[in-house]
């Protein structure tokens, strides 16, 4: 066999995947009203599970905070406890076929258009417009930074309560965590900008808050 390890189990933290084939996070545009996984969403992942995948990461760019417009791509809404029950049905369904499931959580920061529901101001480290979506955004305030860190932790707890096997924190694709990292989008002069240590601070605070919320064993 050309790839002898592909059907071998793989352990991540305390989680053992049955094989090393998985579906990466992407925007399915299948969530029902309010960003809740419904029958179509669950059926989509059940078919993947029937096909023998070891794991799927669902919900590409699922928002953790209310100031992430989400009308355009209908993601899973991790900002509300209402998502726990339908996510639990999703997890139970795919687990029957032996597949593990995680979800990708994020805050998109400036990476959106201003006109997307739910109509909050876009935020970014320094108020600089993104060259792609061109949405106007405000410079994020300290209280919003602290709120969003807590939002990541609360979202992770909802994922854990639903019976999911883990959570993927998105720190790529020009979303808020890596907007803080980059000196092209972060020109702050306070503790959240300037040096590499300061620019890394937001992302590391998010990871610490998530880990504290879900414990050492959750993937």
Distance CA 9, CA 17 (A): 5
Distance CA 48, CA 93 (A): 11
Rg of the chain's alpha carbons, rounded to an integer? Answer: 18
**Of 198, 200, 202, residue with least CA distance to 106:** 202
pLDDT for position 120: 75
Cβ atoms < 10 Å from Cβ of 41? 23
Low-confidence ranges of the chain (pLDDT < 50): none
Residue 49, classed as helix, strand or coil, is helix
**Which residues are 17's β-sheet partners?**
10
pLDDT digits (tens, 9 = 90+) for 79-118: 999 999 999 999 999 999 999 999 999 999 999 876 666 6
pLDDT digits (tens, 9 = 90+) for 62-80: 999 998 887 777 899 999 9
Distance CA 86, CA 103 (A): 13
pLDDT for position 175: 94
**Of 31, 28, 8, 29, residue with least CA distance to 20:** 8
pLDDT for position 56: 98
């Amino acid at each position: 066999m050309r790839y002898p390890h592909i059907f071998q189990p793989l352990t991540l933290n305390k989680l053992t995947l049955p094989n090393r084939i998985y579906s990466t996070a992407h925007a399915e545009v299948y969530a029902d009203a309010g960003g809740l996984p419904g029958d179509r969403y669950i059926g989509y992942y059940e078919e993947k599970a029937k096909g023998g995948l070891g794991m799927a990461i669902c919900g590409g760019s699922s928002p953790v905070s209310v100031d992430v417009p989400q009308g355009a791509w209908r993601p899973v809404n991790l900002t509300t406890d209402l998502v726990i029950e339908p996510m639990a049905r999703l997890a139970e369904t795919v687990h029957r076929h032996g597949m593990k499931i995680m979800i990708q959580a994020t805050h998109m920061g400036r990476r959106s258009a201003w006109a997307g529901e739910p109509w909050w101001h876009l935020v970014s480290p320094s108020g600089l417009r993104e060259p792609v979506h061109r949405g106007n955004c405000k410079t994020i305030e300290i209280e919003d930074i602290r709120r969003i860190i807590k939002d990541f932790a609360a979202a992770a707890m909802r994922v854990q309560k639903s019976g999911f096997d883990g959570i993927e924190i998105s720190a790529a694709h020009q979303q808020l965590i890596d907007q803080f990292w980059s000196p092209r989008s972060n020109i702050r002069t306070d503790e959240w900008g300037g040096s590499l240590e300061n620019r890394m601070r937001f992302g590391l605070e998010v990871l610490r808050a998530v880990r504290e919320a879900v414990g050492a064993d959750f993937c």
